[in-house]
């Protein structure tokens, strides 16, 4: 395509890819001629020269998202387009943070109230095990639909709709009167989360291709804040209104509604600019073909998928069962909730630092190994002496759960393009969450069968050994487009 473009088209292409300037949020000079850029991973990034033809992560019918326009020029001229792009990136960054804050409270807020929900709805131990496995199942099923929806409607439109589904699911779950309704409304909320999970790396790769590590760290940190905040605040909020678990679970729907605002504002402003630039004529939504390569033939994609699945298993076991493990060891509900908040909270600073460190390395395997060893230490402590150093065990498990921002960073680093990241993200997360489905369920079954937490905790130690091995493989410098 580049060979057939004239001088004006080349300039417009580079201007579109870079948002009209070489730095974010500053009034710098126009960008250099179109060449491949070096992203924050330290590796060659061809996204800048490919955004004119990659529309999978652009917004349908808009002018700010990088996409090809007739004649290779942006409506409104270079200066106006550059200013709009900088403003859009600020709104997108705010939206990333708010959406990330919503990606775990529906799950982490349930753990501290699990006993109250069990009593209130008459749930059995087996149903509780199913309940802790529902997130992984929903993330696998609904997450696989995200790339297709993004190509059809644009990622921001889909994310806004996902936050609406999350808000509705959380609000309706709080009103559930039986097991079936509770599970169905939980699935609705988790469907929204699943779509957000997959599309966050896509949004980062598209709007911040030169800051993959930094922006992944930003939204990973926000995700950790939302996770720990829900774990720490759900019980106090419940007690403040008379001990109703329904309020403690339903209040998080408000946060999901707030998360719709920044991306909604981006879409509204773009629609108005589009209408002004085209005289009110409708603009056909962009359609992007899927990448030619098959993700299932990539060893790197499979390594990432297995690594993602094993870290997700550990994360949901901690979120779903850690508070109950501490309560069964003799600690109070509030103390158990606080300890789970410690496990979630330690990941807040690490979630910001770890992606930047990972992006600067050519091999992320050693980081994966360190995180797995921390998890082994935490589970071993829970087996041998759960109440002798409960804070230490919670800290170690929290550090181990930082495998999540690590694998998100690797997803952004293992593909050359935004289209590839969309497909890789869906493959890795869908595969990973399918792998993670049995883990939380087996924890509940093993506990009920043995009457002890030691068998399921030993199982988790074995899974961490496997996670360490595949993490080293996934950390190699490879690109899925190359079949590696």
* pLDDT single digits (tens) 324-336: 899 888 888 888 8
Contacts of residue 229, defined as CB under 8 A and 6 or more positions apart, other chains included, come to 101, 105, 341
Contacts of residue 298, defined as CB under 8 A and 6 or more positions apart, other chains included, come to 480, 483, 484
| Run of H or E residues at 313 | helix 299-328
Phi, psi for residue 38 in degrees, rounded to 5: -105, 120
**Section 372-381 average pLDDT:** 95
Nearest CA-CA partner of 309 in 74, 62, 136, 55: 136
Compute CA 290 distance to the chain's CA centroid, rounded to the nearest angstrom.
Answer: 21
Question: Residue 112 has what DSSP assignment?
Answer: G
The pLDDT score that the predictor gives to residue 33 is 37
Query: Which two tokens mark 8?
Result: 């004006």
Question: Residue 38 has what DSSP assignment?
Answer: E
Burial (Cβ within 10 Å: 0-12, 13-18, ≥19) of residue 3: exposed
d(CA 373, CA 437): 23
The pLDDT score that the predictor gives to residue 161 is 95
Query: Which two tokens mark 314?
Result: 């550990």
Compute CA 200 distance to the chain's CA centroid, rounded to the nearest angstrom.
Answer: 6
Q: Residue 276, Cβ neighbours under 10 Å: how many?
A: 12
d(CA 367, CA 33): 37
Q: Residue 302, Cβ neighbours under 10 Å: how many?
A: 18
d(CA 57, CA 421): 10
Phi-psi region of 5 (alpha: psi -120 to 50; beta: other; left: phi over 0): beta
pLDDT tens string 421-449: 888 888 998 899 889 888 877 888 899 88
Helix (H, G, I), strand (E, B) or coil at 64: coil
> Which residue intervals of 146-211 are DSSP H helices?
146-153, 155-173, 179-207
Asked if the model's pLDDT at residue 468 lies above 90, the reply is yes
Phi, psi for residue 224 in degrees, rounded to 5: -65, -40
Q: How confident is the model at residue 157 (pLDDT cuts 50, 70, 90)?
A: very high
Round the average pLDDT of the chain to a whole number and report it: 77
pLDDT tens string 83-135: 347 778 888 999 999 999 999 898 888 878 888 888 888 887 777 767 766 77
- Judged by average pLDDT, the poorest of 68-82, 187-201, 229-243, 380-394 is 68-82
The pLDDT score that the predictor gives to residue 259 is 94
**434 vs 21, higher pLDDT:** 434
Q: How confident is the model at residue 159 (pLDDT cuts 50, 70, 90)?
A: very high
- Judged by average pLDDT, the poorest of 25-34, 200-209, 296-305, 431-440 is 25-34
Nearest CA-CA partner of 333 in 27, 35, 114: 114
pLDDT tens string 352-361: 888 889 888 8
Phi, psi for residue 310 in degrees, rounded to 5: -70, -40
**Rg over CA atoms, the chain:** 23
Beta strands, E only, 244-397: none
- Residues 19, 25, 26, 27: is their CA dihedral positive or negative? positive
């Amino acid at each position: 395509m580049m060979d057939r473009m004239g001088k004006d088209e080349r300039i417009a292409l580079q201007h579109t890819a870079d948002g009209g300037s070489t730095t974010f949020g500053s009034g710098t000079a126009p960008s250099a001629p179109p060449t491949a850029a070096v992203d924050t991973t330290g590796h060659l990034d061809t996204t800048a020269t490919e955004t004119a033809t990659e529309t999978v992560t652009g917004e349908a019918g808009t002018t700010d998202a990088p996409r090809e326009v007739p004649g290779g020029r942006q409506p409104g001229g270079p200066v106006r387009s550059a200013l709009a792009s900088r403003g859009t990136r600020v709104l997108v960054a705010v939206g990333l943070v708010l959406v990330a804050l919503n990606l775990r409270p529906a799950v982490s807020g349930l753990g501290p109230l699990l006993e109250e929900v069990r009593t209130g709805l008459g749930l059995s131990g087996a149903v509780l095990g199913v309940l802790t496995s529902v997130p992984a199942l929903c993330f696998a099923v609904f997450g696989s639909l995200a790339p297709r929806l993004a190509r059809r409607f644009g990622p921001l439109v889909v994310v806004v709709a996902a936050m609406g589904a999350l808000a509705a699911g959380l609000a309706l779950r709080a009103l559930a009167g039986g097991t079936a309704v509770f599970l169905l409304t939980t699935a609705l909320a988790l469907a929204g989360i699943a779509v957000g999970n997959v599309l966050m790396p896509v949004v980062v790769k598209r709007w911040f291709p030169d800051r993959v590590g930094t922006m992944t760290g930003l939204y990973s940190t926000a995700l950790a804040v939302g996770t720990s905040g829900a774990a720490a605040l759900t019980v106090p909020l419940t007690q403040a209104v008379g001990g109703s678990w329904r309020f403690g679970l339903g209040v998080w729907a408000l946060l999901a509604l707030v998360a719709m605002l920044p991306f909604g504002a981006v879409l509204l402003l773009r629609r108005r600019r589009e209408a002004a630039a085209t005289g009110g004529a409708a603009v056909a939504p962009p359609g992007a073909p899927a990448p030619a390569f098959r993700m299932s033939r990539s060893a790197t994609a499979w390594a990432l998928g297995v690594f993602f699945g094993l870290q997700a298993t550990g994360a949901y076991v901690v979120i779903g069962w850690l508070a109950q493990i501490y309560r069964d060891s003799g600690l109070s509900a509030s103390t158990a909730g606080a300890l789970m908040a410690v496990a979630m909270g330690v990941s807040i600073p690490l979630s910001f630092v770890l992606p930047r460190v990972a992006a600067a390395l050519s091999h992320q395997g050693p980081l994966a190994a360190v995180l797995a060893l921390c998890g082994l230490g935490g589970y071993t402590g829970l087996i041998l002496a759960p109440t002798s150093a409960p804070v230490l065990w919670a800290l170690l498990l929290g550090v181990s759960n930082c495998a999540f921002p690590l694998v998100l960073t690797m997803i952004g680093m293992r593909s050359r393009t935004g289209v590839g990241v969309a497909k890789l993200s869906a493959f890795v997360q869908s595969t990973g969450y399918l792998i993670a489905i049995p883990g939380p369920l087996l924890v509940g079954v093993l506990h009920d069968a043995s009457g002890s937490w030691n068998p399921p905790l030993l199982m988790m130690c074995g899974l961490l050994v496997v996670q360490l091995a595949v993490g080293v493989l996934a950390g190699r410098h490879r690109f899925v487009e190359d079949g590696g």
